[in-house]
Amino acid sequence: MSAETPQAPRNSRVQIFQYRGRTFVTGLRWHPLGSVTGYMKEARQFGRENKLDIVAIRRTAAIIQAGFVARSDGVTKGMYSLAATLAGQLGDSWIAAWRVSPDDDRFAVVAVHRGGIIPGCDLIGTEAEIRRRVAQQRSRGIEFDNWYLPPEFEMGGTPLEIEDLLQPSKLRREYRLRPLVFGLSKAEQAQLIVACILVAGGLFGWTRWTAYQESIEREARLAAEKRRLDELARLQQESGTEQPLQALEHPWATQPSAIAFVDGCSRIIYQLPLSIQGWTFASALCNGSHVAASYKRTGNSTAANLIAAAAGHFSDRPAFFEEGNAATLKFDLMLPAAGDDTLAEATDAIASLSSWLHAFSQEPTLREVPVVTPPQQALPGQPAPPPPPPPQWKQFELKYVTGILPYDSLSGAPTQGLRLREIKVDLEAGHLMWAVTGDLYAK
């Protein structure tokens, strides 16, 4: 499709272009409306709260949906919503992407699921951006009835005949944008009266209940997708590298690296005093989120002495046990996620790690444990999803006890796919003994 007279609105998400004398808008903010009879009132309230004053209304048997935009983005009434125009012709379940301009790297994507335009899938961007958005929808497990994709995407489907869909003869009044500040038109008022009659009695109750259930399902899907994208953004920020969506399915991607774990725990444990006002160090446990150090009371030392001495140096007040003769002091820490690793073959990974530790006179145990992939939770009103496919990796539990500092025994070690769960240190006969527990992931 060759776009004519492209414009640059204030909001880069909103794009305006002309085709055969008609003006189309993408980048609308789509929101479901729950009220069958008062949907325009609901739309006006949403528009006021979000400073949006232009809207496109879609009504189908399954959904009432509004796409919002602001006049300040260069949009005026009478323009056409591109997503609404395509949704009115292609049905209730499809995703489409196509090149907007033959000379520029500009592609468009629109997706409709169960009659509703999917928020975030009504936009124009670069080929890489649109490819990524299509891949995200596929990763969510949505089964579209039709895939209209360009051949260069190499994702299957058939090309979209956009030239035919945007002909002036195919454009209907309902695809147009309208202002929110005015009241209902006479045609809209007549439609409301008819709707009130049709949905009277039992049909009214059933329609409301069905719409409510579908709204819950849509909101749950959107919330789940937002959580996934937020988690991926956090993972990319902490790891400092671009991460694929599949990284969220890998338990090692969201955990700190073995070296970061050892370094973070060691910096705190090494600074713990052996005695605090007559309370002597007994043990410490680091699990990556905090260090819990245990102290024993000796002589005539008191709990008050320990509380006063520890104030301001730990994350919390001491927790006492053993009738007040022992206490735990906690120090919080935050370790960044390591991101995804390319896993090594299991035989090679086990041989490399065990050989390294043997060279330090350690006797590690590496025991394979079953990998259990948690099932996806069923969305409200939907059957339970099928069980997830078996994982493509193996997990081996690592344990060893040593008198050597973990920082020394693991510095320079082959830690590809290695993540630690805890480091425990005990004071035994005047010597510190370190117990290390972790997991080695391999394929």
Q: Is the dihedral of CA 133, 135, 140, 145 positive or negative?
A: positive
**Contact call for residues 279 and 285 (beta carbons, < 8 A):** no
How far lies 97's CA from each of 87, 113, 133, 190, in Å?
13, 15, 10, 37
How far lies 429's CA from each of 20, 293, 365, 382, in Å?
88, 18, 25, 60
Single-letter residue type at 187: A
Q: Which of helix, strand or coil describes residue 349?
A: helix
Residue 378: is it exposed, middle or buried by C-beta count within 10 angstroms (0-12/13-18/19+)? exposed
Single out the residue of 434, 427, 363 nearest to residue 405, CA to CA: 434
**Contact call for residues 95 and 110 (beta carbons, < 8 A):** yes
How far lies 298's CA from each of 90, 264, 280, in Å?
79, 30, 7
Other beta carbons within 10 Å of 245: 15
Single out the residue of 338, 356, 354 nearest to residue 346, CA to CA: 354
Task: Kindly compute the dihedral angle of the four CA atoms of residues 384, 390, 394, 397, in this order, to the nearest 10 degrees.
Answer: 30
pLDDT of residue 274: 93
Q: What is the pLDDT of residues 290-326, one digit of tens each?
A: 999 999 999 999 999 999 999 988 988 999 999 999 9
Q: Which of helix, strand or coil describes residue 407?
A: helix
pLDDT of residue 184: 47
Q: For 118-131, b where at least 16 C-beta lie within 10 A, e where not — what string?
A: bbbbbbbbeeeebb
pLDDT of residue 244: 65
Run of H or E including 156? none
pLDDT of residue 350: 95
Single out the residue of 58, 115, 121 nearest to residue 85, CA to CA: 58
**Contact call for residues 97 and 109 (beta carbons, < 8 A):** yes
**Contact call for residues 343 and 349 (beta carbons, < 8 A):** yes
Q: Is the dihedral of CA 77, 78, 79, 83 positive or negative?
A: positive
Q: For 307-340, b where at least 16 C-beta lie within 10 A, e where not — what string?
A: eebbeeebeeebeeeeeeebbbbebebebebbbb
Q: Greatest CA separation found in the chain?
A: 95
Write out residues in the chain with pLDDT < 50, as ranges.
5-6, 8-10, 183-186, 188
Q: Determine if the pTM surpasses 0.85.
A: no
pLDDT of residue 85: 96
Single out the residue of 12, 6, 31, 24 nearest to residue 180, CA to CA: 31
pLDDT of residue 348: 95
pLDDT of residue 19: 87
With vertex at residue 225, the alpha carbon angle to CA 30 and CA 441, rounded to the nearest 5 degrees, is 165
Residue ranges of alpha helices (H) inside 256-321 are: 258-269, 303-310
